[in-house]
Chains A and B, each alone.
Chain A
Amino acid sequence: MALRISSVLGSNLAAVASMLAAVSFFSSIAAAQSPTLDTVRKRGLLNCGVNTGLAGFSVPDDRGRWTGIDADFCRAVAAAVFRDGDKVRFVPLNAKERFTALQSGEVDILSRNTTWTMSRDTSLGLNFTGVIYYDGQAFMTRKALGLKSAKELDGASICVQSGTTNELNLADYFATRGATYRPVVFERLDEVRGAYVNGRCDAFTTDSSQLIAERTRLPDPDTHEMLPDLISKEPLGPAVRQGDAGWSNIVRWTLFAMINAEELGVTKDTVDQQLASSNPEIRRLLGGEGEFGKALGLDTDWVVSIVKAVGNYGECFERNLGSQSPLNIARGRNALWTNGGLIYAPPVR
């Protein structure tokens, strides 16, 4: 029975902690309370759940350093907490393990190209904190098939990763059209790619950004093409455990800070000069005016640490997914709202 009592005691402590957090919010200057932040600080490392290997999002490079926009987001949070973007322990997770790893406390953040859906947000005991990449599900086929659209895939064998939203969208897409297909399902993305390469299936379906990345890893990329159809919306974003609003705020505002930095033209190279800027918006963002970082339980110049570690959102995008990467994905929907995209962050004030 001791176990039971301690869990009840634990939840009481959590309730007290959240009350304290509420009180400190109103007193505005006092630091916010977050059990996760305390644990992370004590540990000296941020445990960050990432993909086992997906170019552009999270993949180890030839020296074993994790690269990609999801991995950089982990560094941004570590920089906000520790002033050091390298205090991250990357925990590679497959699709099946990811939610359990977050629920059980094995990782502090899940930054693993995970689609934000209602059921995941409400019934898994976790909270999504924003959208880092607006994606959609697409199909890749061999050019030799001469397909013009996904609608022509009636009767085809289609390779897909199990336990993903892709698997569900695929079933919906064919069911609504009254068309048939033969699913070929594997647990890992590299198995799915292997099956497609061997001709086990006619088409390979997943989020379009992943398909672009996977295409570069095919033996002869030019003989394959992406079909123009996007059959779903896949907003990818980081998630945290439910019940720690303070930590949820830190992760949410880290992403907003990166987006605001891009919007205000604060870059990795110019952030030091920008500290002396007379623009009040920049001054508030970088901590020259007000103490916005304190309310999160962080330093006043937390955004300076973030931008110095990984750059602003646009820099992260171009380095990992865009023109400076082999994937060369256009900003498209992931451009700032001021440039006709969907990337938008509430103001710091």
Chain B
Amino acid sequence: MSKPIAFRWRDRSAWIDAAYDPRMRGIALQALLLMAVAMLAVTIGLNTAANLKAQNVASGFDFLSRTAGFDVSQALVPYSSKSSYAQAFWVGLSNTLLVGALGIVLATVLGFTLGIARVSDNWLASRLALVYVEIVRNVPLLLQLLVWYVAVLRSLPAPSAAFQLPGGTVLDVRGLHVPRLAFEHGSAVAFTFALSIVGALLLWRDARGLRARGTARSPSVIRAAWAAVALAPLIALAVAASTTTVTVPTLGRFNYDGGVSIEPEFLALLVGLSIYTAAFIAEIVRAGLLGVPEGQREAAAALGLNRRQALRLVILPQALRIVIPPLTNQYLNLIKNSSLAVAIGYPDLVSVFAGTVLNQTGQAVEVIAITMAVYLAISLATALFMNWLNARTAWRER
């Protein structure tokens, strides 16, 4: 450790000491570099603004409050052609987040199933998983999306000859049309459901706590508690059912109207992204499972746990510690890959905002900057969450 340096004006020796102190020199160099980078950024910004002004190209962010004037096929937030460009931005962002979130859930479930199948002793299951992984991860994603969209969903019949699925659901080239449920007391039912889920969680924690202490409540108390938790939402649903209106999609002049339509562009993107990412997740899970020492498996067997119990209680929890960091990468890839939506016409952020809005306003610099910032924010947020999860499940030295 170098001795603390007292900075006094005109104290030359202190400055010379500082100049020869590697730590101080490091800080000074870092500060210089930071200033140079900041100056470069400011120069680029000012230069861009000056040149845009010189060329008479409109700049600034005022355009966000102007009327968009175009329609979007799928919007989770209220939107019409009279909405502003800012609202069009939210439409694109919510569509990106929707396909990203659902894609992550589907890819994780499918990927874990395949990964476990890959190391299972069942020859057929492990070979099938191997074939899946090798085919899917070696074909470019864009090609797979086009196969799902053009070859599969586009070959479905026209609305007049649609497939009638059970429960009033209809599948045609225009997408999947499901019945629309309108609860008169929808919020009350949802509230009861939420309450019962909280109740079930509390009961489960209580039971686990008691079991850890080697005791349990009397069976009649448990039965009564579970009955209360389970019956409440059923009663609420029964009451609500009498006032619920179900609108089954019916064939109008052109389309199946009345229900909720899930666009084929969305289906193709969701299926394509999930299947592609699942192949990579399967390999990560396989690596994680194989990374758990063989002795753990043997120890579990020695304790009298069967195969399923050993997997669930001993192997998977340890494998997760290995799996989570590379899994984060796959989740980030999936979110970023969702921008390939533009190739099959799904209205995601890139298609709606960095495509249509950019073209209608001509403000390329602003629009691209916003889009990049949003992807950065989504990716960083996902990474932060996964890092937190990683820290929680990481091996704790005892």
Q: Which residues of A contact B (CB under 8 A)?
A: 1, 3-4, 7-8, 10-11, 14, 95-96, 99-100, 103, 120, 123-125, 153-157, 162-164, 167-168, 170-172, 175, 181-187, 191, 194-195, 198-200, 202, 241-243
Contacts and interface: CB of A to CB of B under 8 A. Distances in A.
B351 A199 contact: no
Interface stretch (B100-108, B284-292, B357-365): B357-365
Contacts of A163: 355-356, 358-360
A123 B362 contact: yes
B55 A162 contact: no
A4 B356 CA distance: 31
Nearest to A97: B359
Interface in B39-73: 39, 43-44, 46-47, 50-52, 54-58, 69-73
27 contacts: A4-B43, A4-B47, A7-B51, A7-B54, A96-B359, A100-B362, A100-B364, A124-B362, A125-B52, A155-B252, A156-B253, A157-B254, A163-B359, A167-B70, A168-B360, A171-B69, A185-B356, A186-B345, A187-B355, A191-B345, A195-B154, A195-B345, A198-B154, A198-B155, A198-B173, A199-B158, A243-B55
A117 to B, nearest CB: 10
A139 B347 CA distance: 23
Nearest to A5: B47
B255 interface: yes
Interface of B: 39, 43-44, 46-47, 50-52, 54-58, 69-73, 80-82, 150, 154-155, 158, 173-174, 252-255, 257, 261, 264, 342, 345, 347, 351, 355-356, 358-360, 362, 364
B50 A4 contact: yes
B43, B82, B362: residue with the most chain A Cβ atoms closer than 10 Å: B362
A156 B72 contact: no
A168 B81 CA distance: 8
A186 B158 CA distance: 20
A199 B56 CA distance: 43
Give the secondary structure class of A's interface.
mixed
Contacts of B342: 187
A199 B173 contact: yes
Contacts of B255: 155-157, 182, 202
B29 to A, nearest CB: 22
Contacts of B257: 155
B173 A184 contact: no
Given A96-B355, A172-B69, A185-B347, A241 B55 contact: yes
A200 B254 CA distance: 11
Nearest to A171: B81
B362 A120 contact: yes
Contact of A172 (B39, B81, B154, B252): B81
Contacts of A182: 73, 174, 255, 261
A123 B57 contact: yes
A125 B73 contact: no
Given A1-B39, A124-B362, A186-B345, 12 more contacts: A10-B54, A100-B364, A123-B57, A124-B58, A156-B253, A162-B70, A167-B70, A187-B345, A187-B351, A200-B154, A242-B55, A243-B56
